[in-house]
């Protein structure tokens, strides 16, 4: 039995068929990069794994059980934007992750419980390198630092799965490289299963242990929305052996 | 100057102006004297007097008290050209569930403050040996008095018709004092600017002439129905209001009322009431500050006459000289 | 010569230009008032500044002969109490219903159309119904303010809640938050500065309804006094009262602004750095 | 069970939930009206639906005997004319002064504080002054609407103009545009959808001022009629008039929204894709 | 006499000294890349050359005459964002550049004048590769396409100087490369003098014929705003000989 199982999943919005016939199984600890043209449904699949969207047909199961149909603490997420709380400092942003589950009524801890949460939060903030900015508000942070913060938040809940939707899409190239180091590190240390959508094919190959390429295999020129995308390439990358990215890129672009 | 304008507001005694305007009687008389008279209805009574006082109109319908406290107190020399009627039960004090005026003691009284209702209340209280200190006056807009009366917090009101009859028609409502107890004290007038009248007697003649022609039609059911509808009621309702109004259908009656000795006495009361409530203005040192001229003599300061009761035009009508 | 749009007046000129219109208005009034008073010294329409100041003195600094009170302060206290109470309740209602409507699709389906329609009913037109329902006392005046302002605040809050990026709400859920915790820890704090802004926007309407309510039935209050003395055209009282209401409106607006800046620095810095 | 915030009612439930509150309100009214009428058949406060519909028939579909007019339509036409004229002039003033204020720092220094203060003066309080200044004709009613709504629109337009990125204005200048051309080709078209939005926001206030003005001085109009029959507490006329005003307010709001979408598609697409 | 001359220019905002003692002369046809830490005053210098800011001390002269102190058609600009008009289509955006000067009253051309302007606009739209999107509104374009549009607009006026303030800062890496090709091409073809601010040092060296590095040479820890930045390195690049960027970056970073 695999860790996450996607069984004949279809997804449409109204008339528009977005995804069709997805059959994929994922093992624990994989790092899956998802690439493909804009609007082909990568984020949609991510949302279905997250639970904020429901498949029109088919089923996704986690460790043999059907997925909970709404977001929960088992699955962490980092969006391209807006995934931190603007009214909280870095420390509060991270602490709140534990406070949500520790205090049902107020969502705040006090006294020794607070101390404990704070310590834990500080260690995760340190892990993403935000200690110097611990008392700053998100708007005082650069884009990269905000994404680090979003990752630290997600790690607090020790999720089984981490979902990343173009997490580095809005960052400067220099900063992206740093973030790659960070996320790779976190993946290895926490034995996470990661799904990452990216527009940068190179990034996808660099980070992922497996790459999914999304594309439509059937086209109806009269009804462009009649068919959905599928995973046309499912490449398991041997991390020792760097693949010929340029050639692959070429190949994908032709599709 | 041969273009004049007068304003009026909806009230049983002033509806004839509406009829005169829409039936063309006023135009007929204006044409006779070769002038133009514009008749304008104003929804809000106080606003109409303010407009007159500010000089926007040459004449305006109002009560004797308001003529004293608004135009006269503002230094606008005004003449009561036509004495149309006096209230004879058209204003009243109503109590909820109590039948005697004495029971008003310690109640909240809803009324339009500083209006003739307020005056009526003061006269009523006086008649049973109470004073305004024994009640609590709550200023309430006339448009909302009927609605206000149907709430439990309101136990006594002072108001005029048609509101009065609306209110007394509600169960357990008793009219304990009304203007028929002080006959001739609440007088409805057509007031015009003295200076304008002096320079243009034609204006006065045309208005008075038209008024008494309208008065002569007031026995006609059609005319009354017209007036009733213009005031948003029906013939029966309007007739009921007329019953509590002492209309001077004939000019001679109006003249003799104006010439009676009761008028200066009434105006003395009114001036005293107004002064006590601070509505004669800053300049007033006592109730005699403003002079009021009546055929029976001057009330107040002779050197500061601002309100004149002048029956000479009505006399002309009585004599058929218009 | 520079383009007009590029000409920035210096600080001196800016101050000068700011003051000029006010001086012009005062001068115009003065001359008009003088002209009218020369013609009729008892004219009440445009009182002189001496008359106005003596009216202020009479209302604010002299005991009223009849009641022994200082009318001006009594009126101000009554009106301020009503407007503050009304707007506070409005804000509370707006916040709570707006939050629920914005956050819970199920409730929104039921309440949102009702609120939309309620916000379109002109409160002035249904005054009789209001009186009969709420009586003529303080409650009615406060209710008129609430009915006049709450639907707008509710709608504003609802749309503000719905504008919070869905990403944040989903993120909070992935951190284990319940609907309640999302509401009080994620949405509520972010919506508070918007609430203050909405309240500032509806202050104008609140004053309007207050004055309307006081004009209809009251024993004291700024609006009551204005409409009462209108009966004898005492513009020397009306003008300072209007000025005073303007000052109060400004002070309330200003203190809400300051309060927002002090309580929600993160919000204002974020807005400024946009 | 899902979290409350994640429960999206189906289309059927949504429609159902939308309708329920209205049905409840009508039912409540019905029973209350029945109860009152059973006690006193002449009660006017909560007329029965039969009474209301006969009042509608009388006002809208029967020639008035006295004037030969259909009062309801005459009132509607008069009020609509006034509010449309008032709000159009307000919008024009708001646009022009807002544009100038927002774009020219020199003018802004002089006018902006004046407008701010003017927007704080409660128009209700200066109603007596207004009537005396502008007389009692149509002009006064329209002026009250203008005075009540224009300052707010001006301030809104000014702040919207100032929110246009400076980059665009500089860019236009590097393309050779004069202040005038920047105004009409860069700023004006971008501000137009905001103007429509501002007008929509001030419609509520416009109705309020219209009703207040008609209550004091008018011979026809929806507000006039309500105040006239209010003296007799003819709720059978007031209720349909209030409902009609609500419908008109909704229709105006809706058509402004549609108009904006039709005239400025680029703006709405841009907002939607944000 | 050089093309553009910066003579002892100082700039401060209130108490804060931003730039000091700038003495630089630029020849026609140079492509100057400006790099330096955030907030050191690169955009401020650009704005002074543009004319939207005035130097506190010193003077800038163009072809021997003092610069016009407000933006005009001699100097084109492309900002990182907001430099196109959102309410006009691509074609209108470009046409308006000529309409501004041809029609003083309406800012619109009609009839044959319009035809002429349209033709010219189309050729520039073609030059930046936007012909397929000619009737689209800016919000329908990607970030890169919007920047192309901004460049086409600027080119319509045949400016002597083109100023670019982080023109590619918000673009995806793949798109950046395309833009580099474009701007280089335009620079060469139009004999433009270009000033470009960038955060990406590599980009600066890749594109520029000359690189200015901004930094503060004096620091007062007690009063961090007392001193302004200067151009600490002024490197003329021989385009044939690629410099050792890595080494230079290192060197700059140390400062
Ligand atoms: N809630 C929705 N309702 C209707 N259509 C939607 C909805 N969400 C997404 N879509 C459509 O589904 C398609 C796939 O969207 P999705 O966001 O998954 O694409 P994507 O691959 O993530 O694209 P991108 O790379 O641009 O993020 C798009 O055509 C989009 O317009
Ligand atoms: N109008 C202004 N008033 C006051 N200070 C300003 C103004 N414009 C810029 N500054 C300040 O001047 C300094 C330089 O700003 P500038 O925008 O030139 O920096 P920059 O080098 O372009 O930075 P970045 O790389 O972040 O764009 C900054 O500290 C900024 O805060
Ligand atoms: Mg996506
Ligand atoms: Mg910059």
**Residue from E17, E42, E47 to probe ligand 2 pocket by mutation (most atoms less than 8 Å from CB):** E42
Mean pLDDT, to the nearest integer, of A67-95?
91
Identify whether the C-beta of residue C179 lies closer than 8 Å to the C-beta of residue C186: no
A26: Cα within 13 Å, side-chain hemisphere: 28
CB nearest A79 (choices: C167, C178, C189): C167
Identify whether the C-beta of residue B226 lies closer than 8 Å to the C-beta of residue D66: yes
**Is the model's pLDDT at D188 over the cut of 50?**
yes
CB nearest D231 (choices: B41, B54, B143): B143
Residue B135: count of CB within 10 angstroms of its CB:
17
Report how far residue B66's alpha carbon sits from residue D85's, in angstroms, rounded to the nearest whole number: 35
Dihedral through CA B261, CA B262, CA B268, CA B274, nearest 10? Answer: -150
E83–D171 CB contact, under 8 Å = yes
Q: Taking the domains of chain D in order of start, what are their residue ranges?
A: 78-273
Residues from chain E contacting residue A172 (CB–CB below 8 Å):
169, 199-200
Topology of D78-273 in CATH? MetI-like fold (1.10.3720)
Residue C274's pLDDT is 64
This model of the complex carries an ipTM of 0.84
Residue E254's pLDDT is 45
Report how far residue A151's alpha carbon sits from residue A185's, in angstroms, rounded to the nearest whole number: 12
Give the whole-number percent of chain A exceeding pLDDT 70.
Answer: 91
Q: pLDDT band for A254, please (50, 70, 90 cuts).
A: very low
Map tokens 């049905």 to a residue: D23
B62 touches chain C (CB under 8 A): no
C174–A77 CB contact, under 8 Å = yes
Q: pLDDT band for C102, please (50, 70, 90 cuts).
A: very high
- D110-151 pLDDT per residue, tens: 899 999 888 888 887 787 677 777 777 788 889 989 999 999
Report how far residue A4's alpha carbon sits from residue A193's, in angstroms, rounded to the nearest whole number: 10
Burial class (CB in 10 A: 0-12, 13-18, 19+), D174: buried
**D57-65 own/partner pairs: CB under 8 Å, 24+ apart:** D59/D237, D59/D240, D64/B229, D65/B229
Report how far residue A44's alpha carbon sits from residue A73's, in angstroms, rounded to the nearest whole number: 19
Residue E255's pLDDT is 45
CB nearest C232 (choices: B73, B152, B283): B73
**Residue from A10, A40, A226 to probe ligand 1 pocket by mutation (most atoms less than 8 Å from CB):** A40
Residue A244's pLDDT is 61
Chain C: partners with 3+ C-beta pairs within 8 Å: A, B, D, E
- A105-163 pLDDT per residue, tens: 998 999 999 999 999 999 999 988 899 999 999 988 888 889 989 999 998 998 999 99
Name the range with the highest mean pLDDT among C4-13, C23-32, D52-61: C23-32
Which regions of chain A carry the CATH code 3.40.50.300?
A: 1-74+160-255
Q: Which of residues 70-89 of E touch C (CB under 8 A)?
A: 70
The two structure tokens encoding residue C211: 């004055």
**Is the model's pLDDT at D187 over the cut of 90?**
yes
Give the whole-number percent of chain B exceeding pLDDT 70.
Answer: 99
Query: In terms of Cα–Cα distance, which of A169, A164, A168 is closest to A195?
Result: A164
Across the strands, what pairs with A65? A62
Mean pLDDT, to the nearest integer, of D221-229?
86
Q: Which of residues 4-63 of C touch E (CB under 8 A)?
A: 6
Per-residue pLDDT of chain B (322 residues; tens, 9 = 90+): 889 999 998 899 999 999 999 999 999 999 999 999 999 888 888 888 988 988 889 999 999 999 999 889 888 899 999 999 999 999 999 999 888 899 998 999 999 888 899 999 999 998 999 888 889 888 888 878 888 888 888 899 999 988 888 888 888 899 999 999 998 899 999 999 999 999 999 999 999 999 999 999 988 899 999 998 888 788 888 998 999 999 999 889 999 999 999 999 999 989 999 888 888 876 677 888 889 999 888 888 888 889 999 999 999 988 888 8
The hierarchical CATH code for the domain A1-74+160-255 is: 3.40.50.300
Helices and strands, counts by H and E, chain D? 12, 0
Identify whether the C-beta of residue E222 lies closer than 8 Å to the C-beta of residue E33: no
Q: Which ligand is nearest to the CA of A225?
A: 1
Residue A255's pLDDT is 45
pTM of the model: 0.86
Per-residue pLDDT of chain E (255 residues; tens, 9 = 90+): 689 999 999 999 888 888 988 999 999 999 999 998 878 889 999 999 999 998 999 999 998 889 888 999 999 999 988 889 999 999 999 999 999 999 889 989 899 999 999 999 999 999 888 999 999 999 888 888 898 899 999 989 989 999 999 888 777 666 788 888 888 888 988 889 999 999 888 888 888 999 998 888 887 777 777 788 888 888 888 654 555 665 556 555 544
At residue E85, what are phi and psi to the nearest 5 degrees? -95, 115
Mean pLDDT, to the nearest integer, of C249-254?
93
Residue A223's pLDDT is 75
Report how far residue B143's alpha carbon sits from residue D228's, in angstroms, rounded to the nearest whole number: 8
Residue C240's pLDDT is 93
In DSSP notation, C154-188 reads HHHHHHHHHHS-HHHHHHHHHTT--HHHIIIIIIH
Residues from chain A contacting residue E199 (CB–CB below 8 Å):
172
Q: Where are the alpha helices (DSSP H) in chain E?
A: 42-50, 90-102, 111-127, 143-156, 173-190, 201-207, 245-254
Mean pLDDT, to the nearest integer, of D223-228?
86
Identify whether the C-beta of residue D75 lies closer than 8 Å to the C-beta of residue D221: yes
From C103, which residue of chain D is nearest by alpha-carbon distance? D5
Residue C272's pLDDT is 79
User: Which atom of ligand 1 is closest in space to residue A166's alpha carbon?
Assistant: 27
User: Residue C132 contacts by C-beta under 8 Å, 6 or more apart in sequence?
Assistant: B147, B150, B151, D45
- C140-179 pLDDT per residue, tens: 889 999 999 999 999 999 999 999 999 999 999 999 999 9
Ligand 2: does its nearest atom lie under 6 Å from the Cβ of E80?
no
Residues from chain C contacting residue B139 (CB–CB below 8 Å):
217-219, 224, 227-228
């Amino acid at each position: 039995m695999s860790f996450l199982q996607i069984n004949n999943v279809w997804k449409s919005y109204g008339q528009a068929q977005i995804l069709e016939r997805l059959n994929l199984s994922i093992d624990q600890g994989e790092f899956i990069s998802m690439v493909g043209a804009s609007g082909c449904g990568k984020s949609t699949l991510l949302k279905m794994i997250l639970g904020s969207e429901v498949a029109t047909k088919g089923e996704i199961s986690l460790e043999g059980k059907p997925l909970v149909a709404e977001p929960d603490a088992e699955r962490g997420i980092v969006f391209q934007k807006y995934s931190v709380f603007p009214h909280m400092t870095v420390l509060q942003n991270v602490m709140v992750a534990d406070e949500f589950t520790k205090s049902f009524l107020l969502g705040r801890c006090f006294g020794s419980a607070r101390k404990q949460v704070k310590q834990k939060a500080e260690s995760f903030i340190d892990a993403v390198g935000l200690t110097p900015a611990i008392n700053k508000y998100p708007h005082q942070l650069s884009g990269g630092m905000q994404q680090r913060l979003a990752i630290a938040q997600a790690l607090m809940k020790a999720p089984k799965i981490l979902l990343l939707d173009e997490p580095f899409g809005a960052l400067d190239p220099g900063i992206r490289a740093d973030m790659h180091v960070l996320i790779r590190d976190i993946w290895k240390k926490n034995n996470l299963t990661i799904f990452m959508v990216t527009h940068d094919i190179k990034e996808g190959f660099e980070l992922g242990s497996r790459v999914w390429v999304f594309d439509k295999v059937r086209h109806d020129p009269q009804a462009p929305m009649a068919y959905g995308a599928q995973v046309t390439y499912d490449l398991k990358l041997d991390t020792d052996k760097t693949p010929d990215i340029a050639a692959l890129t070429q190949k994908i672009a032709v599709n | 100057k041969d273009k004049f304008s007068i304003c009026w507001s909806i009230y049983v005694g002033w509806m004839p102006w509406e009829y005169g305007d829409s039936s063309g009687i006023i135009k007929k008389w204006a044409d006779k004297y070769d002038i133009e008279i514009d008749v304008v209805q104003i929804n809000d009574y106080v606003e109409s007097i303010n407009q007159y006082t500010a000089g926007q109109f040459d004449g305006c319908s109002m009560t004797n008290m308001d003529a004293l406290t608004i135009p006269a107190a503002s230094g606008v020399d005004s003449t009561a050209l036509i004495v149309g009627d006096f209230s004879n039960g058209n204003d009243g004090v109503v109590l909820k569930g109590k039948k005697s005026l004495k029971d008003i003691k310690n109640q909240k009284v809803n009324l339009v403050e500083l209006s003739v209702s307020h005056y009526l209340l003061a006269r009523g209280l006086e008649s049973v040996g109470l004073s305004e200190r024994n009640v609590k006056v709550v200023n309430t807009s006339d448009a909302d008095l009927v609605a206000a009366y149907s709430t439990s917090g309101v136990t006594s009101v002072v108001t005029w018709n048609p509101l009065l009859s609306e209110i007394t028609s509600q169960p357990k409502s008793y009219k304990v004092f009304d203007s028929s107890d002080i006959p001739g004290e609440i007088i409805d007038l057509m007031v015009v600017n003295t200076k304008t009248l002096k320079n243009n007697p034609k204006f006065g003649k045309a208005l008075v002439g038209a008024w008494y022609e309208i008065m002569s039609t007031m026995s006609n059911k059609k005319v009354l129905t017209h007036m009733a509808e213009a005031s948003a009621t029906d013939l029966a309702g309007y007739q009921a209001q007329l019953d509590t109004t002492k209309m001077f259908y004939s000019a001679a009656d109006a003249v003799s009322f104006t010439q009676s000795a009761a008028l200066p006495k009434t105006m003395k009361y009114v001036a005293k009431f107004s002064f006590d409530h601070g509505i004669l203005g800053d300049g007033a040192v006592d109730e005699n500050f403003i002079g009021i001229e009546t055929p029976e003599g001057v009330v107040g300061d002779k050197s500061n006459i601002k309100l004149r009761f002048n029956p000479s035009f009505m006399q002309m009508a009585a004599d058929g000289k218009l | 010569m520079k383009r007009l749009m590029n000409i920035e007046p210096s600080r001196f000129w800016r101050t000068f230009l700011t003051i000029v219109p006010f001086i012009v208005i005062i001068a115009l009034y003065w001359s008009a008032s003088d002209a009218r008073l020369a013609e009729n010294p008892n004219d009440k329409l445009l009182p002189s500044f001496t008359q106005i100041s003596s009216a202020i003195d009479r209302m604010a600094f002299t005991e009223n002969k009849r009641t022994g009170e200082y009318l001006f302060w009594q009126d101000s206290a009554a009106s301020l109490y009503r407007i503050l109470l009304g707007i506070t309740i409005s804000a509370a209602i707006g916040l709570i219903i707006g939050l629920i409507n914005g956050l819970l699709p199920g409730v929104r389906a039921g309440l949102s159309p009702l609120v939309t329609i309620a916000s379109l009913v002109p409160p002035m037109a249904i005054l009789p119904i209001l009186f009969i329902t709420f009586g003529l006392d303080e409650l009615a005046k406060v209710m008129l303010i609430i009915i006049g302002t709450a639907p707008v605040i509710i709608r504003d809050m609802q749309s503000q809640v719905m504008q919070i990026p869905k990403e944040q709400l989903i993120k909070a859920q992935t951190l284990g938050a319940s609907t309640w915790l999302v509401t009080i820890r994620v949405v509520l704090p972010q919506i508070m500065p918007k609430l203050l802004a909405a309240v500032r926007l509806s202050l104008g309407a609140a004053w309007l309804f207050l004055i309307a309510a006081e004009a209809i039935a009251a024993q004291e209050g700024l609006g009551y006094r204005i409409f009462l003395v209108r009966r004898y055209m005492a513009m020397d009282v009306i003008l300072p009262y209007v000025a005073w209401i303007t000052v109060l409106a400004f002070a309330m607006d200003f203190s809400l602004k300051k309060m927002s800046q002090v309580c929600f620095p993160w919000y204002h810095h974020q807005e400024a750095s946009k």
